[in-house]
Chains A and B, each alone.
Chain A
Amino acid sequence: MSWRASLPFGSALARLAHQRAERELARRIDGAFRIDPDAIARVRAQVLIAGSALAPVTVASVRGTGARARRSMPVVVAFAMVIIVGLVATGVRPGEPSPASSLAAGGLGSPVAATAASITAYLDRSAADLQSVTTTARSGDPSALAAVLMRYGTDLAALEAELHMPGADLVTAGILLRSQAFELSTMASVIPAANENLFRQLTSDLDRLIASLANGKPPASPPGNGKPADAGNGKPTASPPGNGKPTASPPGNGNAAANGHAKAH
């Protein structure tokens, strides 16, 4: 250690060096202990199901009853419900082929169940996209961030198309999308200027989708022209899948988007 490193704590230079060391440590921890967005998304779906099971039935009118009901249901029961609901809804365990794969194989049969599984897959995927947005924004690479943002936009458009399907759970989708909108809003401060237009467009698209779900009706068909997104200006497509973009398919399935499009129209 050099003589400079033995400067008193109050020294501005020592403080600066200390701050640099902290940043470096944080950077190395970020690199070594990577957050798995897929794991985060998988657990998210299960936690939200458990949360719904534990929540009061009618919060505004019978809060006391709801609180009692919530206390009366132990977490073990909720956990069991998570597993059961997850198995019924997806037909697969976390880590196994995605629900969309089951759809492609015709494994679930019912159009309603198939839609629910697709929507879950798209919601999970868009949530994972958001995690990537945060990570990529920190890397300071506008082109990489634009790619991630566009992927998110594509997934949103695919999700929007799925929400037109009969039996789609619009309420759950609305709740989860509002959560994503909140997360997106917290990212505004870290979005580079080069990506601001794209970011604003995405935020606007998401708000529009949420607003259209607010009345419990499927979203109105966006004024798409059937063309892929304009990569030149970074604007994401607002049209539903079926526009030839392979990335519109749900996780683990290369052709389910086309299937979804065929079903939707």
Chain B
Amino acid sequence: MFRVVDAVHEAVVDRIVARARAGDSAALAEIYDLYAGRVYRFVLQRLRRSSDAEDLLQRIFLKMIEALPRYEARGMPFKAWLFRIARNAVIDYERTRHDHASLDDVFDLSDAQLGPAELAESAAEMDAVRAALDLLTPDQRDVIVYRFFAGLSPREIGLLMDKREGTIRALQFRAMQTLRSSLALRIELAGAEGAGA
């Protein structure tokens, strides 16, 4: 999905946003279709429960609609602007929500598309990824989440985190070094050589 969305050029997105600001419902639908999946995954990573993620997804897009007249294309790409709203919404949600999920209901196992074995595997994989992310510094973790969950570019992440693009790349590189070992990612150079041959 990320590849598909990445293919949509920033200028095209800006034109869609301009139409949405002018009240074009179709443009609003296009924005939603472009980014809802990423926002959902970004939120799910933080909130864990799919029911919470769905709730917050709706709030984020409603906030986006409300804030759209104030959006200025200059300076910050729309995608980064949207994820700033998402990040703030997640923080607000976590702050106001005191009934933290117990370990038993951390994973909402209501996905009818998966069998019990797949659900268990998916939950274990979620655990593994989250545990690996916990090993990172806060900045590294943010970069990885924005990069791989939200699909933002290093430039967009830099704008969000108020850091240079080069700094973001360095943070990502160091984070990946940590994740390599903790997630046992298949990155052995012998394998890389084999693939390149």
Contact = CB atoms under 8 A, between A and B. Distances in A.
Interface of A: 1-2, 4-5, 7, 9, 13-14, 16-18, 20-22, 24-26, 28-29, 31-36, 39-40, 42-44, 46-48, 50-52, 54-56, 59, 63, 66-67, 70-71, 74-75, 78-79, 82, 94, 127, 130-131, 134-135, 138, 175-176, 178-180, 182-183, 186-187, 189-190
B147 to A, nearest CB: 8
A189 B191 contact: no
Given A2-B188, A135-B1, A36 B65 contact: no
A59 B65 contact: no
Nearest to B53: A39
A46 B55 CA distance: 11
B179 A25 contact: yes
A21 B29 CA distance: 34
B187 interface: yes
A25 B24 contact: no
A33 B44 contact: yes
A48 B29 contact: yes
How big is the B interface, by class?
35 or more
Contact of A33 (B8, B29, B45): B45
Interface in B130-159: 144, 148-149
Give the most central of B3, B25, B126, B190: most A CB within 10 Å: B25
Contacts of A189: 3-4, 7
Given A17-B192, A32-B129, A36-B40, 6 more contacts: A25-B183, A32-B126, A43-B57, A59-B23, A75-B66, A175-B26
Chain A binding surface, main DSSP class: helix
A62 to B, nearest CB: 10
Interface of B: 1-5, 7-8, 20, 22-26, 28-30, 32-34, 36-37, 40-41, 44-45, 50, 53-54, 57-58, 61-63, 65-66, 69, 111, 114, 122, 125-126, 128-129, 144, 148-149, 173, 176, 179-181, 183, 185-193, 195-196
B32 A47 contact: yes
Given A4-B189, A32-B122, A43-B58, A66 B2 contact: no
Contacts of A26: 2, 148
Contacts of B37: 35, 40, 131
Given A28-B125, A70-B69, A179-B26, A186 B5 contact: yes
A56 B69 CA distance: 11
Contacts of B188: 2, 17
